Amino acid sequence: MANSVFLLFLGLYLISLIGNLSIIIAIWLDKRLHIPMYFFLSSLAFLDIWFISSTVPKLLTILAYNNKIISMSGCILQLYFYVSLGTIEFYLLAVMSVDRYVAISHPLRYRLIITNKVCLWILLLSWVLGFITFIYPTVLMFGLSFCGPYEINHFFCDSSAVVKISCSDTRQFDMVFASFASAVILGSFCLTLISYCNILFTILMIPSTKGKIKAFSTCTSHFTVVSLVYGSAIFIYVRPVESSSPNLNKIVALLNSVMTPVLNPFIYTLRNKQVQQVFREIRKKLVPNKSSLLK
């Protein structure tokens, strides 16, 4: 059983790494993809590599060697990187939804509004703010006392699991962490929802039925991932700690921390016809056809 679970997570991890790395390489090799939309997608791909790597490698170690030991400082740092990278993803999803709104609703002014310079500044701000946001809650956690039993009921150091093994008064930490998490998740979700509502309204105004179906197809797949990310995060973090079920939290956390980085490359980028064309051209350069080899 443990071997099959190990192979499952190893397979998902490798799929995520290969998919996201392929996107980054394709975008940076082809100058036709050096536009804001693909800069956002390459940043999301880079983020997903680190996001899934913040939890899955340790999980694989546990499954392979039954090594369940992690230092307290290592545990808190894992939590910090997990929530920080997750925060950056929320910021990026909100920014990307606004980018798509501008592209669909104001196509003639898109390149004037979202320039490469503006795109790079937005990306830099998203990453910096993402790593800054949860510094204070992390400092508060370092101030907690832990007096055993030192056993976390989770597959990584999630905040709800860590505070349960603390013998300190965790009310201040719970309030601060929940406030920060709610502000990040609900704030970015509202911006994303407003953008998609405006996109939907614009799509309904398209006179061509074929154009509507194409636009709906793209937006539906994007909104599926957005719903998965925000739905799982709201379920785990925007609720009172007392009402949470540890086992249910673990299942939902798997969707958020593992499945999202696996699905993002396929839904956001690999279905894109322009990206597919770039991959075909790269493949032709790397693998010459038989007729050229016979000459």
Please compute the mean of the pLDDT values over residues 35-46 and round it to a whole number.
Answer: 90
With respect to residue 89, please indicate whether it lies within any of the assigned structural domains.
yes
Contact 166, 145 (CB under 8 A): yes
Q: What is the pLDDT of residues 96-122, one digit of tens each?
A: 989 988 988 888 888 899 988 999 999
Q: What is the CATH number of the domain that holds 84?
A: 1.20.1070.10
In 119-218 the beta strands, taken as DSSP E runs, fall at none
With respect to residue 266, please indicate whether it lies within any of the assigned structural domains.
yes
Q: What is the pLDDT of residues 233-257, one digit of tens each?
A: 888 888 766 656 777 888 888 888 9
| Separation of alpha carbons 192 and 97, rounded Å | 6
With respect to residue 245, please indicate whether it lies within any of the assigned structural domains.
yes
- Confidence (pLDDT) at 139: 94
Helix (H, G, I), strand (E, B) or coil at 146: strand
Instruction: Give residue 263's pLDDT band: very low, low, confident or very high (50, 70, 90).
Output: confident
- 């201040």: which residue's tokens? 172
With respect to residue 294, please indicate whether it lies within any of the assigned structural domains.
no
Which phi and psi angles does 45 have, rounded to 5°?
-65, -45
To the nearest whole percent, how much of the chain has pLDDT over 90? 37
- Confidence (pLDDT) at 15: 94
Q: What is the pLDDT of residues 201-223, one digit of tens each?
A: 888 887 777 767 766 766 776 77
The total number of structural domains that make up the chain: 1
| Separation of alpha carbons 255 and 232, rounded Å | 7
Higher pLDDT, 290 or 92: 92
Is 228 a residue whose pLDDT tops 70? yes
Could you list the residue range(s) of the whole structural domain that residue 114 is in? 2-289
With respect to residue 137, please indicate whether it lies within any of the assigned structural domains.
yes
- Confidence (pLDDT) at 204: 80
With respect to residue 295, please indicate whether it lies within any of the assigned structural domains.
no
- Confidence (pLDDT) at 118: 92
| Separation of alpha carbons 21 and 45, rounded Å | 7
DSSP state of 134: T
- Confidence (pLDDT) at 254: 87
With respect to residue 68, please indicate whether it lies within any of the assigned structural domains.
yes
To the nearest whole percent, how much of the chain has pLDDT over 70? 91
Q: What is the pLDDT of residues 6-20, one digit of tens each?
A: 999 999 999 999 999
| Separation of alpha carbons 12 and 156, rounded Å | 17
Number of C-beta neighbours around residue 150 at 10 A:
11
Higher pLDDT, 120 or 292: 120
Is 72 a residue whose pLDDT tops 90? no
